[in-house]
Structure 1
Amino acid sequence: MTDRSFTTIENQWITLKDGTRLAARIWMPDNAENDPVPAVFEFLPYRKRDGTCARDESTYPAFAAAGIAGVRVDIRGSGESDGVIDGEYTPLELANACELIEWIAAQKWSNGSVGMMGISWGGFNCLQVAALRPTALKAVISIASTVDRYNDDIHYKNGTHLSAQLSWAATMLAYQSRSPDPELTGNRWKDMWMERLEAEPFFLEEWLQHQRRDDFWKHGSIGDNFGDVEIPALVIAGWADGYRNTPLKAVEGLGPKSKAIIGPWVHKYPHFAWPKPRADFLGEAIRWWNRWLRGEENGAESLPQVRAYIMDAIKPAARRDFDPGFWIAKDRWTSPEKQHFHVNADGALASGAGRGVGGEAFLRSPLDTGTSSGEFFTLKPDAEMAVDQRGDDAGSLVFETAELTGDLDCLGMPVVRLTLSCQAELANLCARIVDVHPDGSAQRVSFGVLNLAHRNSNEHPEPLVPGRKTEITLVLDACGYRFAKGHKIRLSLSTSYWPMILPPPTDAGVTIDVASIDVALPKLGTAERIAMKEPENPSPLPTYIEHHAGATRRAVTRELSHARTDYLIHEDTGLHEHPQTGLSTRQLREELWSISDNDPTSMTGRSVWTCDMSRPGWSVRTVSMAKISCTKTDWVLSASVLAYEGHDQIFEKTWEKSVPRDMM
């Protein structure tokens, strides 16, 4: 198909049946009312006007030029949409999405077929909406998403409490506190803004009410019943992101109607993600949409079920712009054969299954073990990603192989099994698979964490029986990796993984039966080496006017005189002006985590966001703060929002709440 001309509709009001008016930005192929087109719909709370505009402008024009309309809608209470958001992936949000799909399919310009797409929030809700089976929804593309909201999102991970839960609650507090753009809403902007400021929820308060995998988390977790999704799904993720498990889980659960692509990337679209190599996402997506939204016979249904990038002996670095490796394809995904390792008489990992050798080893990691872990989900290929693991391994119990005599290629989820005991009812365990280079540098390949009370169930946890030996199975995150000849494979075990994982109320340590340790690495097996097309445009993101450069910094400081460790995050987007809208925006995030030696209840986290919006003669600012601390029995929360019009403070709101700890 030759490129079709198109028009960008900067703001289209869509009125829901309950009277709520939502704001959409639409990329419309010309003459669509006479030559109807399919549409791709994306539904987010991240503000089409200033939040996702750059990535939208790198994607939807290409769809429109291919004769596919793009409809990007802000969820209620965000951007220029009416109302107030009521949470993540709520029944109201999903019902609104179904209504919007119905609206799109009924337009004169529509051929009646709708696809739904997104990354992160939009990747989550497109799968969840697919499970509701709206008639016009024919296919989805889900990027950096989850099929299990409890175990594979920013909240909890096998019963452990992720620090990202505070970080993301602070982010959403900042995002939802921002003003609509008066250029689109007119004089209503301030009334809409004040309504949000007064009524927006502090998400963390609700999330902490559900520390087990109860019905709150089962809602929207399509992995509990994959059969609800009947349409084709292309599921994409990156190995450097926290959502790396979803593509393989999706193809296992959804079967041949699903396809997976996994690259080396952080939490970004594949055509502009880091580390490189990138992938031609636009070409992949247009082929997908043309097959399922207009019936084009282009072979999309016959694509390999899994295409994955196998990372080749990655060297840890402060920034990784390119990760060496190679692409493979598997026509049908099956459970991989495992390469087992046990501990031998020399205390090393040796190939082979079965009971190893060794006595008992007591492990009680320093509480600040984990500062090399990076963030749960990553947006840049710098210290947000895991860095050299030697510092964390110093506080861990480690076992490693001799130098490998040949390459070992892996694809799938490693599994670690062992027997341990603990003198307390609660403890955490972290297991990491590490690639040790000949120079001693150590690259984290995969990791898993477990609240030991959740060893048998996330819904019905049971405290440990002090002193009793307990068998543990820990499934680690998926990986695609080549351990090179001459390297070593290391298993690192720790009872702390801070600040990514918040500590339990006590720090008793665990005693591990060394002979029981079994490490099972998933072998790549039969696979075809393939070439994966890269984007035609190596820099697809638009360039905006820069008034002030951005900056990023992560630092770990140890106050030796007070035995305290601080982990600082500084993120400044810089001040940028959109050349067409004239809107300038800037977001500053300052986050600080602290913990003291030998006292898990000393842990604190504080995240502050400052968000500025302006154009000549008009400016607004919000300052949002969220904080968490703990006692042995409670999580202690506080939050606040300040709002300014020009230099004048016009609003202030605070929250304070204590939530009982539930086996964590």
Structure 2
Amino acid sequence: MVTSTETIWIEMPDGARLAARLWLPEGDGPFPTILEYIPYRRRDRTRLRDEAMHPRFAHAGYASIRVDMRGAGDSDGLMHGEYLEQEIQDGCDVIGWIRGQEWSDGQVGMFGKSWGAYSAYQVAARRPEGLRAIAPVMGTDDRWAECIHFSGGCLMSDNFWWGAIMQLFNAQPPDPAVLGDAWRETWRARLEATEFWPAEWLEHQTRDAFWQHGSVCENYADIEVPAYIFGGWADAYRNTPFRMAEHATSPVKVMIGPWGHLYPHEGAPGPQVDFPAELIRWWDHWMKARDTGLMDEPPLRLYLREATAPGDDPDPRPGRWVEEPRWPSPNVAEEIFHLNHGVLGQSPHPGPDMSVTTPTSYGASGGDFMSFATPGDLPGDARLDGAGALEFRSAPCEAALDILGQARLRLRVAADKPQAMLAALLVDEAPDGAQTVIARGFANLMHLDGPEQVTPLSPGTPVEAEILLHATGYRLPEGHRVLIKLSSAYWPILWPSPEPVRITLTPGLSQLSLPLRQAVADAPRPRALPAPDAPPQPAMTQIREGRMERGWQFDALSGKLINRTWIDGGVFGPVGRIRIDETGTELGDISERIYEIGSDPTSARAVMTQEGHFSRDDWNARIETRAEMWCDATHFYIEAGTRCFVDDALFHEKSWSHKIRRNGM
């Protein structure tokens, strides 16, 4: 029988206490321990998710603990930013505290998704005594190259959008049932200390020390414990598993499914995988010295998706699992295609220059950069963007092509402005003309000398540029074509350059390297992965059904294209308002995100408004946030504000205003 303790306190060396929830197995112990360390409120925000995993670990003979970071949930202290030194040190100190408990046998395994994956990597790199293995899910080894801030050196709108989400999360109150009368004082101190994080992120527009901190790619050898890394092809963190498999000096296993930014046992699109069961095999091997057979299997297991019509998004996604013995894999070889005049050819054929000035509206069919499996967030039919890109088509494939890994473009291009970007789409074009996006990649041409510096282009002078597309696993069917689209804008995923840019490419001088997997004769069939059991009826009551609205509108009076997403339920979709039955807490979010742009790139504007609610008996707290970002040719502008209420009376109000010089963005 598993026992659960709702709140335990973990004292840090400086006296601050972190709030945690603990599950213990039946028996006297001591037990190895599983740690999840994140800032997302164990008593409400992640409670239902936690209860689908941590009790499973306890039933398997592990103590399992879910810790709120300093300044989050009911923990003491303030949170001044993400992945700061204090946060990483606290993670190490939590492991030290666990090792001192009578129920602990001194061994700790660490796992988590997104921020929790970062935590696992960063804490492991500090080598705390007792940490035996980690299982990061959808996080990165390189905060500059692969996060929500920049991609290929281009500024992503997610820098603003996710920062606005954190604006709401950072304003959430502690729970009076845990802190008693001190909850107001604690909340006010947090609200006074909170800053608008996207402004700080935007102050660092090159790969400087800010981004190097917390990026374990700075020295892969810092991580000495084994890592089981999970990813999803619809997620933002698709490249890290391959880099870790290639460069890590400790044992690495990789599993990448078709999923968005969700744990594999709740992943969409499916097929889902019993993630807790997979982790138990992992922990049993490294902390109980049991031969589970897991380490006898090939280290990489990857889901090769079958082609589907754009916008179809079936769940589960058709495909099959394949395994690789290492990365780079001996089963994957690059095939070179030359970018000729509108054609992807087997040999180069020079021709007249091809040029395009991409309209600001190009990218409207792109969905979101990172899928949370909410309706409409995956890319649609790329034909919907119409003209706006240089296009290069292969001949129809004579046999199916299995694309696995990262495609690479080596380009010789010129721009007519000193500042320019490139967006590249790798597309499956069906015989009927439908265009399904397979992978995307971006490049800021002012970073040709490296991401640490900005070098203006000489207008009209050709340069050599490289775009490493995001990793993918995809089967291109017989009769379909490989299509490359190159554009100088991709709104709203990328913030536009300050001026319209004309890109010119000379055919025959550029190449696409496509990673193609060859079938392995007599390869054993991968072990069948158990599907998760049907989830237990959640211990919650639906107070208000969720819904969402998503769409584009062209305003003929202003000439602006407006993208709007409205969700009753927040970032993870239309969940509405719920009550957690065990604690009686009601909670819910409502958010509206608007991106708009006219024909001038400096007309780009992003607006995010949100409401968050927490209530129970005589506790009623509400948060309202607004954030807005716009630009001119030389600066970005950000204004944001947060208002918090108790029983509909204003409790606290704070606003921010920032003017930040553009630095190659």
> Which interval holds the TM-score relative to the shorter structure?
over 0.9
1:627 has 2:628 as partner: yes
The farther-off stretch of 534-543 and 627-636 is 534-543
Cα deviation for residue 564 of structure 1 reads 0.8
1:417 has 2:410 as partner: yes
Q: Secondary structure at the match of 2:543?
A: strand
Aligned length: 654
Give the whole-Å Cα distance in 2 for the aligned partners of 1:341 and 1:507.
Answer: 29
Measured against aligned partners, the alpha-carbon deviations of 1:307-342 in whole angstroms (never above 9, x if no partner) come to 000001122226532211100011222253111112
Name 1:150's counterpart in structure 2.
144
Cα deviation for residue 273 of structure 1 reads 0.7
Give the whole-Å Cα distance in 2 for the aligned partners of 1:532 and 1:513.
Answer: 49
1:579 has 2:574 as partner: no
TM-score normalised by the chain length of structure 1? 0.96
1:486 alignment partner, one of 464, 479, 483: 479
Give the whole-Å Cα distance in 2 for the aligned partners of 1:340 and 1:580.
Answer: 59
Q: Secondary structure at the match of 1:282?
A: helix
Matching residue's letter, 1:459: E
2:505 alignment partner, one of 512, 518, 524: 512
Cα deviation for residue 404 of structure 1 reads 1.3
Cα deviation for residue 517 of structure 1 reads 2.6
Give the whole-Å Cα distance in 2 for the aligned partners of 1:630 and 1:50.
Answer: 37
1:458 alignment partner, one of 438, 444, 451: 451
Name 1:383's counterpart in structure 2.
376
Q: Secondary structure at the match of 1:315?
A: coil
Cα deviation for residue 252 of structure 1 reads 0.7
Name 1:282's counterpart in structure 2.
276
The answer (yes or no) to whether the contact 1:57–1:542 under 8 Å persists in 2 is no
Q: Secondary structure at the match of 1:271?
A: helix
- Mapping of residues 92-241 of structure 1, within 5 Å: 92-241=86-235
Measured against aligned partners, the alpha-carbon deviations of 1:194-240 in whole angstroms (never above 9, x if no partner) come to 11111112111211111100011011111121111111000111001
2:12 alignment partner, one of 12, 16, 19: 16
Cα deviation for residue 560 of structure 1 reads 2.6
Name 1:396's counterpart in structure 2.
389
Name 1:589's counterpart in structure 2.
591
Q: Secondary structure at the match of 1:523?
A: strand
Give the whole-Å Cα distance in 1 for the aligned partners of 2:490 and 2:448.
Answer: 17
Cα deviation for residue 393 of structure 1 reads 5.0
Cα deviation for residue 442 of structure 1 reads 1.2
Cα deviation for residue 278 of structure 1 reads 1.0
Give the whole-Å Cα distance in 2 for the aligned partners of 1:189 and 1:409.
Answer: 56
Name 1:349's counterpart in structure 2.
344
Give the whole-Å Cα distance in 2 for the aligned partners of 1:166 and 1:473.
Answer: 26
Matching residue's letter, 2:154: T
Unaligned residue ranges in structure 1 (runs of 5+): none
Give the whole-Å Cα distance in 1 for the aligned partners of 2:216 and 2:617.
Answer: 47
Cα deviation for residue 300 of structure 1 reads 2.9
Cα deviation for residue 422 of structure 1 reads 1.2
Q: Secondary structure at the match of 1:626?
A: strand
The answer (yes or no) to whether the contact 2:340–2:348 under 8 Å persists in 1 is no
1:297 alignment partner, one of 291, 305, 326: 291
Measured against aligned partners, the alpha-carbon deviations of 1:557-600 in whole angstroms (never above 9, x if no partner) come to 11133221111111211110011110010011111111101x11
Measured against aligned partners, the alpha-carbon deviations of 1:425-459 in whole angstroms (never above 9, x if no partner) come to 10110011001122222111011011111123111
1:562 has 2:564 as partner: no
Name 1:73's counterpart in structure 2.
67
Give the whole-Å Cα distance in 2 for the aligned partners of 1:492 and 1:539.
Answer: 42
Matching residue's letter, 2:542: E
Cα deviation for residue 59 of structure 1 reads 0.6
Give the whole-Å Cα distance in 2 for the aligned partners of 1:541 and 1:115.
Answer: 28
Q: Secondary structure at the match of 1:537?
A: coil
Matching residue's letter, 2:403: C
Name 1:615's counterpart in structure 2.
616
1:656 has 2:649 as partner: no
Q: Secondary structure at the match of 1:337?
A: strand
Give the whole-Å Cα distance in 2 for the aligned partners of 1:58 and 1:547.
Answer: 22
Name 2:645's counterpart in structure 1.
644
Cα deviation for residue 532 of structure 1 reads 3.6
Classify 1:540/1:363 alpha carbon distance in 2 versus 1 (closer, same or farther; 3 Å).
farther
The answer (yes or no) to whether the contact 2:111–2:117 under 8 Å persists in 1 is yes
Q: Secondary structure at the match of 2:455?
A: coil
Cα deviation for residue 256 of structure 1 reads 6.2
Give the whole-Å Cα distance in 2 for the aligned partners of 1:404 and 1:21.
Answer: 61
Q: Secondary structure at the match of 1:367?
A: coil
Give the whole-Å Cα distance in 2 for the aligned partners of 1:244 and 1:541.
Answer: 32
The answer (yes or no) to whether the contact 1:415–1:473 under 8 Å persists in 2 is yes
- Mapping of residues 362-373 of structure 1, within 5 Å: 362-373=355-366
Measured against aligned partners, the alpha-carbon deviations of 1:594-621 in whole angstroms (never above 9, x if no partner) come to 1101x11111101111000011222100
Unaligned residue ranges in structure 2 (runs of 5+): 570-575
Q: Secondary structure at the match of 2:505?
A: strand
The answer (yes or no) to whether the contact 2:443–2:466 under 8 Å persists in 1 is no
The answer (yes or no) to whether the contact 2:539–2:582 under 8 Å persists in 1 is no
Name 2:573's counterpart in structure 1.
none
Give the whole-Å Cα distance in 2 for the aligned partners of 1:105 and 1:315.
Answer: 52
Name 1:539's counterpart in structure 2.
535
Give the whole-Å Cα distance in 2 for the aligned partners of 1:172 and 1:536.
Answer: 31
The answer (yes or no) to whether the contact 1:374–1:386 under 8 Å persists in 2 is yes
Give the whole-Å Cα distance in 2 for the aligned partners of 1:361 and 1:127.
Answer: 44
RMSD of aligned C-alpha atoms?
1.5
The answer (yes or no) to whether the contact 2:416–2:459 under 8 Å persists in 1 is yes
Name 1:433's counterpart in structure 2.
426
Classify 1:610/1:339 alpha carbon distance in 2 versus 1 (closer, same or farther; 3 Å).
same
The answer (yes or no) to whether the contact 1:504–1:600 under 8 Å persists in 2 is yes
Cα deviation for residue 392 of structure 1 reads 2.6
Percent sequence identity is 36
- Mapping of residues 22-101 of structure 1, within 5 Å: 22-31=18-27, 34-101=28-95
Cα deviation for residue 412 of structure 1 reads 0.4
Give the whole-Å Cα distance in 1 for the aligned partners of 2:30 and 2:349.
Answer: 66
Cα deviation for residue 279 of structure 1 reads 1.3
Give the whole-Å Cα distance in 2 for the aligned partners of 1:356 and 1:73.
Answer: 60
Cα deviation for residue 292 of structure 1 reads 1.1
The answer (yes or no) to whether the contact 1:271–1:534 under 8 Å persists in 2 is no
Matching residue's letter, 1:155: H
Give the whole-Å Cα distance in 2 for the aligned partners of 1:356 and 1:41.
Answer: 57
1:497 alignment partner, one of 485, 490, 494: 490
Give the whole-Å Cα distance in 1 for the aligned partners of 2:643 and 2:497.
Answer: 33
Matching residue's letter, 1:553: E
Measured against aligned partners, the alpha-carbon deviations of 1:269-315 in whole angstroms (never above 9, x if no partner) come to 00111001111211110011111122222233333111000001122
Matching residue's letter, 1:580: E
The answer (yes or no) to whether the contact 2:272–2:532 under 8 Å persists in 1 is no
Measured against aligned partners, the alpha-carbon deviations of 1:541-565 in whole angstroms (never above 9, x if no partner) come to 7352001011122211111332211
The answer (yes or no) to whether the contact 2:11–2:18 under 8 Å persists in 1 is yes
1:549 has 2:519 as partner: no
Cα deviation for residue 540 of structure 1 reads 5.7
Cα deviation for residue 526 of structure 1 reads 4.9
Give the whole-Å Cα distance in 2 for the aligned partners of 1:543 and 1:499.
Answer: 38
Give the whole-Å Cα distance in 1 for the aligned partners of 2:537 and 2:381.
Answer: 31
Matching residue's letter, 2:328: T
Give the whole-Å Cα distance in 2 for the aligned partners of 1:663 and 1:571.
Answer: 34
